[in-house]
A = this chain, B = another copy of it.
Amino acid sequence: MNILAISGSLRRASINSALLRATRRLAPNDIAIHLCNGLGELPLFNPDLESDPPPAVQSFRAQVAAADALLIASPEYAHGLTGVIKNALDWLVSYEPFAFKAVAVLNASPRAHHADDALREVLRTMNATLVESASITVPLLGSSLDEDGMVSSASVAGALRDCLASLYDTVVLQQANHLASFPLR
């Protein structure tokens, strides 16, 4: 199973990016996590460019299409989504392969809820399959954990492993239902 991990922060020391790298290290052998690193190269969304999207958009969309599920971790800026993550999602609104894609969202800031709420509302509006059981608030507050610390923390690593297990189960079920609905013979 292929999971595309998307961080909504371009900051080098981003805790959200570290969380996704830690999750990749914790993934079992049957889950491959690819870290998406092209969000900073996307142009700002312009509906007039949808008919002939720039190469960076085509590359991002191809990564999304190739993934069985998405895992998003994004900070809150001024009680809102980051422009970075919303811009990336704006390029996916009319991109047909995104619809019904399994998506889990990680919230690394237990005291923040505006961006987490907004991200869920946007994803539901875009017809994502929001996997609630895999969409968790990670208990990082005040812990100052870096990537290594997350991997070696029993509570954080356990939460991330549970997240991946839920996402895995959802995708398996989703693909089984798809096969059941559209039998090949």
A residues with CB within 8 A of B = 9-12, 39-40, 42-48, 77-90, 93, 114, 118, 121-122, 124-126
Contact = CB atoms under 8 A, between A and B. Distances in A.
Given A11-B47, A48-B12, A126-B78, A86 B83 contact: yes
Nearest to A117: B118
Nearest to A39: B44
B84 A87 contact: yes
Given A40-B43, A83-B86, A118-B118, 20 more contacts: A10-B46, A10-B47, A10-B48, A11-B47, A11-B48, A40-B46, A44-B83, A44-B84, A45-B77, A45-B84, A77-B86, A77-B90, A78-B93, A78-B125, A80-B81, A80-B86, A80-B122, A82-B86, A83-B85, A87-B87
